[in-house]
Chain A
Amino acid sequence: MCLGVPGRIVRWIDHDPTFAKAEVEFSGVSRVVHMACVPEAIIGQYVIVHAGIAICVLDESEAEKTLAAFSTLEEVDDEIPR
């Protein structure tokens, strides 16, 4: 049961450990998300949101690394005659 969607933190609303909330944007739409599990997250970072709470901060450098690996994957493969 793991529908988790990446969204970008727009604004912190509350830093209370239990009621922590931030406004998080998904493709142009914002929603208030509970942040108790990611108190360290800062504005501009992406979080994975599941059932109304952020479950982790998305590591953008890891994502870029993966994507970069895909682009080399394509280059290498393009050289293979088909």
Chain B
Amino acid sequence: MKYLDEFRDVTVARKLIEQIRNRVTRPWVVMDVCGGQTHSLVRYGIESELAGCVELIHGPGCPVCVTSVELIDFAVTLSGQPKTIVASFGDMIRVPGSNDSLMQSRSRGGKVKIVYSPLDAVTFAAQNPELQIVFFAVGFETTAPATALAVLQAAKLGLTNFSVLPAHVRVLPAMQTIMEMPDNRVDAFLAAGHVCSITGFAHYEPFACEYQVPVVVTGFEPIDLLEGILRSVEMLEQGILAVDNRYGRSVQREGNVTAQALVDRVYIADDRDWRGFGTISGGGYRLRSQHANFDAFNRFPYKHGARASQKSECRGAEVMSGRIKPKQCPAFGTACTPESPLGAPMVSSEGACAAYFRFEPVLMENPQ
């Protein structure tokens, strides 16, 4: 596919790896904060290729993984209500809440619909006026325009049977939280490319300055990733603590202003409980009051602070903050697998644990 395959060229990737290796004078720790990047880094074997010169750690880049147990429990409850359907992305429906995932709820008669786009859920609501459709709106800033547009379309169509369960999370506050952790090891960040397609990267500039950490806006294909890592290493070696963009084909400094305006009409930044991290100030979006009638929290009874628990063996929070590697968790691959996950990072295909489980090369089989 054009603009995809060219950026997977193995020969170019090898050259970039060599350049990175040549550039490094000490091992650097680079964190990605996007599950799509985690997935590619592990899938293409970039991580093992760079072993010994760049340590890649995978931050809280999977919005499905950081969605709070309370919200999942609420979605599960809603899916069990009469004439109510919870719609969400395929990634979300296997993530366990306190007890059940949406998938398990469905097996007990809960109504869960998987959609590719929130706008498909709006169309479905318009076609089924007798049903209440709740869209479980997970995702980073990348996904917020799609769900904001869903609210605006539903408003235009005058739908009274469509609502959104807002669970969006924002990346920069999470990066700040990680930098504030006393045992944080991050030397540089790869900023998530498609998040920046929407938000731009100007707002990372004060962050890079304050925390003395280079930030490189990076794409998703192996060559994009290697370029981003190479640039991070160059900046670290030269002591440049600033923001650079290595995903120019999809990201501009000011981002997509139309999309930002659209999000701003519907959402406002709010504190958000991140699974494994606790409350992050400004870490999510809630619906603006003028769209309160599309807010599932208003339409359905919701008990704040409902008792919720994550299975205690899961060390997902330590994985997502880069304190341990997935394989250092005693449950990894034994008590915890994608088939029966203990925690969210093993569930979503972009969760760090699932990516490792699936793609990490078997070192014994690759002695070179």
12 example contacts (A-B, Cβ-Cβ < 8 A) are as follows A1-B138, A2-B193, A6-B2, A36-B145, A37-B149, A37-B262, A58-B250, A59-B248, A60-B249, A65-B248, A67-B6, A74-B15
Give which listed residue, A18, A27, A37, A70, contacts B145 with CB less than 8 A: A37
Given contacts A2-B194, A66-B248, A74-B11, contact A53 B117 (CB under 8 A): yes
Q: In the complex, which residues 22-81 of chain A have their Cβ closer than 8 Å to any Cβ of chain B? A: 26-27, 34, 36-39, 46, 48, 50-53, 55-56, 58-60, 62-63, 65-67, 70, 73-74, 77
B1 and A52 contacting across the interface, CB-CB below 8 Å: no
Report how far A46 CA is from B12 CA in the complex, Å: 23
Mark B145-168 against chain A: 1 for CB-CB distance below 8 A, else 0.
Answer: 110010011001000000000000
Measured CB to CB, the closest approach of chain B to A43, in angstroms, equals: 16
B118 and A4 contacting across the interface, CB-CB below 8 Å: no
Q: Which residues of B contact A55 (CB under 8 A)?
A: 142, 145, 194, 197-198, 256, 259
Give which listed residue, B18, B156, B197, contacts A77 with CB less than 8 A: B18
Q: In the complex, which residues 201-257 of chain B have their Cβ closer than 8 Å to any Cβ of chain A? A: 220, 223, 227, 248-252, 256
Q: B54 in the interface, Cβ–Cβ < 8 Å? A: no
Q: Which residues of B contact A52 (CB under 8 A)?
A: 116-120, 146
A50 and B142 contacting across the interface, CB-CB below 8 Å: yes
Report how far A26 CA is from B209 CA in the complex, Å: 40
Q: Which residues of B contact A60 (CB under 8 A)?
A: 249
Q: In the complex, which residues 1-18 of chain A have their Cβ closer than 8 Å to any Cβ of chain B? A: 1-6, 8, 18
Q: B36 in the interface, Cβ–Cβ < 8 Å? A: yes
Given contacts A52-B117, A52-B120, A58-B3, contact A2 B145 (CB under 8 A): no
Report the number of A-B residue pairs with Cβ-Cβ less than 8 Å: 137
B259 and A37 contacting across the interface, CB-CB below 8 Å: yes
Q: Which residues of A contact B152 (CB under 8 A)?
A: 18, 36
8 shortest A-B CB distances, which residue pairs?
A: A52-B117, A62-B248, A2-B194, A37-B259, A63-B249, A6-B3, A56-B197, A2-B36
Q: Which residues of B contact A62 (CB under 8 A)?
A: 248-249
Q: Which residues of B contact A48 (CB under 8 A)?
A: 194, 197, 250
Q: A37-B262, A52-B146 are in contact. List 18 more A-B contacts (CB 8 A).
A: A1-B89, A2-B37, A2-B142, A6-B2, A18-B156, A19-B153, A36-B149, A36-B262, A37-B145, A37-B258, A38-B258, A46-B3, A48-B197, A52-B116, A70-B223, A73-B16, A73-B19, A74-B15
Interface residues of A (CB under 8 A from B): 1-6, 8, 18-19, 26-27, 34, 36-39, 46, 48, 50-53, 55-56, 58-60, 62-63, 65-67, 70, 73-74, 77
Measured CB to CB, the closest approach of chain B to A44, in angstroms, equals: 12
Q: B63 in the interface, Cβ–Cβ < 8 Å? A: yes
Interface SS of B by simple majority = helix
Given contacts A19-B153, A34-B146, contact A70 B258 (CB under 8 A): no
Q: Which residues of B contact A36 (CB under 8 A)?
A: 145, 149, 152, 258, 262
Q: B34 in the interface, Cβ–Cβ < 8 Å? A: yes
A56 and B256 contacting across the interface, CB-CB below 8 Å: yes
B220 and A50 contacting across the interface, CB-CB below 8 Å: no
Q: B4 in the interface, Cβ–Cβ < 8 Å? A: yes
Report how far A25 CA is from B145 CA in the complex, Å: 21
Give which listed residue, A1, A34, A37, contacts B117 with CB less than 8 A: A34
Q: In the complex, which residues 338-358 of chain B have their Cβ closer than 8 Å to any Cβ of chain A? A: 350
Q: B62 in the interface, Cβ–Cβ < 8 Å? A: yes
A53 and B146 contacting across the interface, CB-CB below 8 Å: yes
A63 and B197 contacting across the interface, CB-CB below 8 Å: no
Q: Which residues of A contact B258 (CB under 8 A)?
A: 36-39
Return the chain A residue nearest B147 by Cβ.
Answer: A51
Return the chain B residue nearest A50 by Cβ.
Answer: B142
A1 and B35 contacting across the interface, CB-CB below 8 Å: yes
A18 and B140 contacting across the interface, CB-CB below 8 Å: no
Mark B109-151 against chain A: 1 for CB-CB distance below 8 A, else 0.
Answer: 0000000111110000000000000000011101101100100
